[in-house]
């Protein structure tokens, strides 16, 4: 019985370690929450060890509703399109399989400004 518990505990530890490794996202993308009209709803993200150097987000969730959508951070020198009813509708139509990565609106990339955080929840 003790041996079985030890084996199950070791297996759980290995599985949880691989889940954490898989949850570390690409530092060039993030998540946003979109309502049906294309407006953004605040996203809740957690970052276990973020710093000014490590900007990776571990887990992002849409706790206040909306669909979780993957979107690129804007490259240096690029600003996201200004929010407007037309942009919101265009952004919603541009979503493909839960992603806006590579999408554009009126010739501009659909992206979000990088977040400034020093770890923890934001």
CB crowding 60-92: b at 16 or more within 10 Å, else e: bebeeebeebbbbbbeeeeebbeeeeebbebbb
Give the predicted TM-score (pTM) of the model: 0.67
Q: Which residues of the chain have pLDDT under 50?
A: 4-24, 117-122
Per-residue pLDDT reduced to its tens digit, 69-98: 999 999 999 999 999 999 999 999 999 999
């Amino acid at each position: 019985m003790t041996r079985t518990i030890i084996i199950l505990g070791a297996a759980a530890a290995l599985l949880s370690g691989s889940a954490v490794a898989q949850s570390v996202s690409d530092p060039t993308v993030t998540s946003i929450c979109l309502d049906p009209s294309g407006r953004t709803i605040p996203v809740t993200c957690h970052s276990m060890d973020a710093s000014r150097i490590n900007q990776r987000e571990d887990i992002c969730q849409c706790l206040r509703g909306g669909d979780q959508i993957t979107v690129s951070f804007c490259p240096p020198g690029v600003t996201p399109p200004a929010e407007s009813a037309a942009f919101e509708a265009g952004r919603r139509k541009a979503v493909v399989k839960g992603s806006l990565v590579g999408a554009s609106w009126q010739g501009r990339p659909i992206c979000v400004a990088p977040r400034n955080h020093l770890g923890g929840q934001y």
